[in-house]
Structure 1
């Protein structure tokens, strides 16, 4: 028998509040890391750090898609067994990938290669700590994820702030990665009692048909493709372009994390909702709230005095501030696309990949074309155009799927003719 949903009554409100608070803590941590790094570094050193930090973000997204997003769709004993498998798989895979990458990159010259090698060494701690958050979401324990993320914040920011001014990118990456260890230890301690007796099978995540493969591909051709394109742009033209784009994106960190959190942690909250119309209404309301947050945040940032901006981003502020209108418009498109993607993830999870492929490749093309025509500002407007077109396509697909589902529900509820009843 399927266990009763733990999201009924007052428990629902508490779970939502803890989930929102957890995403707020994660958002603040991410933006604060970039701001502290920008204040400690020259524009060039921050550009290198931004490039490596973005590479880490891509790896986090791939791991979250492959392991986490499939995990949060499960419930009951199946979720417990899957969590045990996910923890083991993430540990093994991150060690293999990280250590191999570090060994290869350590042989290459340059600050960027050195910082990427350090990222490989800290990758197991970073990916494992983030993976525990998906486990807590699948087990309906968002308050425990919040506790671990609060510890992550409390350790990371002081550790970075204590570094001397002028610290190189490799040192900052090492401090950021190792500061995940206390949160990883706390998360493991809080998770262990819930997994006692669960049967893990990490190899199941490699089996053919694992839904996480599809989600990882969606991330790779969705958010990941644009981020990889920016990384490639930085490697080809120099990291200063990446620094400007990442500086502007860092200021929208809270909005970005909320959008990512809606996709990653929204399904467990929407699954107990009955009826297609109610699901669409809730995600439509989410779209409106996200758009309101993006608009308010964009107005606030564009009105920010220059001296405050320089206190936030240091030497990077001059380049990043020129991109704020374009980046704000891009996040408006991301907000609309996120709410449509969440709707489809609940109603028909396998229906989003074609749209992700087509419009993400289009966004990469717009990014490259915009950079050729107008440098970093052109690249930012190219990303905006790609996000807007993807949002339109996803909502059109949502309308089609919801209409199909409603017709199915209506035909299921309609009495069948007597001749069919025997």
Structure 2
């Protein structure tokens, strides 16, 4: 969920000082979005029972998957739009219109499924009521998030920062006002409705840039739409593990989902770092020129991120129980036991993130196979760890093992790519010295 704000070197991008301001606004917007997600989960854990937070986590995980799919299909595609004001305005209006229609259709399905689940068993205060609430508020939250990609396309990340900051300022007090042991459906409804002010502000800020533009939804349903590839990459790279966790909660152990989500929420600040590396790593690494230099710089950054992950894990592991309960409420006890495994996972994720960014610089086509194979392997290891141990701890160590194997595979490919072209560069230098200059 990163807003790019216009990459350096793209024709028509802002000049130096303004470009720097756009980068700062993009990073701050990303931080505001990440902080919102962290705050929502932490507050929900504090005001819920362990079972209530497990239900809320399953619903929020469903939203995360749907958000990622929409971001991949519509958001990542629209930010690649280049052209005059009329072209970008039409693209933004089309993306927002598509998101609203898709979210309304998806929300209707979720609402029906939630109502049926609540009627069959569990009542309206359980998981069924929470899914019903998600279905009702899904258009609000998805369209509000889609606006940030429209602002990125328009090279106005400051507008995205304004709306996402308002979103944060509205959702935190709204959830904090809820009484202890609030039903998960109520929490979902409050969380969703608190997006209305930010949504209205975003639409108002977007209107001058899309006034007079015509929305065209046909490209989104045509075969070959660029978002289809992005959606596949998201599905195999991120959604597969999230859906596996959701399946674990629906069919086996709901409390395990709450424990896994609680532990990963505490590592939320590291996601800001990882997302920043994904957003700004490629252009910075390209400045090193030679492939070996790129690989060395990325490896050093990966070691730093890994050390930060380990350090943050040690800080969390040393938290007194009373402070942990203030953060996650009744969920702290189950989440605390997963901190070593989750800390190990985030440590190797720092290495893996830098490896995948390096692959995108050296050979963009090389990332898909790594993502497909090792993301699916992570799912297998997570489920296998749960089956072998019968606990969320086994699932957490399975996820850590999967992340470690993905990092090893990605760095192995980086080493191969950095080594082979070096021979070609030396041969080219011997035949034509001018080619290798600079």
TM-score of the alignment, normalized to the shorter chain, above 0.5? yes
Cα gap change, 1:150/1:282 in structure 2, threshold over 3 Å: closer, same or farther?
A: farther
Contact 2:76 2:149 in 1 (8 A): yes
Question: In structure 2, the residue corresponding to 1:205 is in which secondary structure?
Answer: helix
Contact 1:266 1:342 in 2 (8 A): no
Out of 12, 16, 29, the residue aligned to residue 36 of structure 2 is: 29
- 1:3 corresponding residue in structure 2: 11
Q: TM-score, normalised by structure 1?
A: 0.88
- How far residue 349 of structure 1 moved from its aligned partner, in angstroms, is 4.4
- 2:162 corresponding residue in structure 1: 147
Paired with 2:347 and 2:192, the residues of 1 have a C-alpha distance of 30
Kindly report the root-mean-square deviation, in angstroms, between the aligned alpha carbons of the 2 structures: 3.0
Out of 283, 286, 302, the residue aligned to residue 287 of structure 1 is: 302
Paired with 1:24 and 1:131, the residues of 2 have a C-alpha distance of 17
- How far residue 152 of structure 1 moved from its aligned partner, in angstroms, is 0.5
Contact 2:167 2:195 in 1 (8 A): yes
Paired with 1:298 and 1:308, the residues of 2 have a C-alpha distance of 15
Segments of structure 2 that go 5 or more residues without pairing to the other structure are 1-8, 433-438
After TM superposition, list the pairs within 5 Å mapping 1:138-217 onto structure 2: 138-196=153-211, 198-217=213-232
Q: TM-score, normalised by structure 2?
A: 0.85
Deviations 1:177-234 (A, max 9, x none): 1111111111222222233455542221222222221221121112211111111111
Cα gap change, 1:285/1:193 in structure 2, threshold over 3 Å: closer, same or farther?
A: farther
Deviation larger for 279-288 or 354-363: 279-288
Deviations 1:126-149 (A, max 9, x none): 111111122222333222211111
After TM superposition, list the pairs within 5 Å mapping 1:55-204 onto structure 2: 55-77=62-84, 79-109=88-118, 110=122, 111-196=126-211, 198-204=213-219
- 1:339 corresponding residue in structure 2: 354
- How far residue 292 of structure 1 moved from its aligned partner, in angstroms, is 4.1
Deviation larger for 31-40 or 268-277: 268-277
- How far residue 120 of structure 1 moved from its aligned partner, in angstroms, is 1.3
- 1:326 corresponding residue in structure 2: 341
Question: In structure 1, the residue corresponding to 2:117 is in which secondary structure?
Answer: coil
Paired with 2:91 and 2:282, the residues of 1 have a C-alpha distance of 15
Segments of structure 1 that go 5 or more residues without pairing to the other structure are 417-422
- 1:389 corresponding residue in structure 2: 405
Paired with 1:5 and 1:32, the residues of 2 have a C-alpha distance of 34
Contact 2:114 2:127 in 1 (8 A): no
After TM superposition, list the pairs within 5 Å mapping 1:281-320 onto structure 2: 287-320=302-335
Contact 1:27 1:258 in 2 (8 A): no
Cα gap change, 1:272/1:335 in structure 2, threshold over 3 Å: closer, same or farther?
A: closer
Contact 2:349 2:407 in 1 (8 A): yes
1:38 maps to 2:26: no
Paired with 1:222 and 1:354, the residues of 2 have a C-alpha distance of 10
- 1:221 corresponding residue in structure 2: 236
Paired with 2:167 and 2:323, the residues of 1 have a C-alpha distance of 26
Task: Give the length in aligned residue pairs.
Answer: 415
Deviations 1:99-133 (A, max 9, x none): 12212331223211221121111111111111112
Contact 1:26 1:149 in 2 (8 A): yes
Deviations 1:223-248 (A, max 9, x none): 21111111111112231111111110
Paired with 2:340 and 2:356, the residues of 1 have a C-alpha distance of 24
Contact 2:285 2:297 in 1 (8 A): no
Deviation larger for 196-205 or 234-243: 196-205
- How far residue 396 of structure 1 moved from its aligned partner, in angstroms, is 3.3
Question: In structure 2, the residue corresponding to 1:75 is in which secondary structure?
Answer: coil
Contact 1:138 1:268 in 2 (8 A): no
Cα gap change, 1:197/1:408 in structure 2, threshold over 3 Å: closer, same or farther?
A: farther
Question: In structure 2, the residue corresponding to 1:140 is in which secondary structure?
Answer: coil
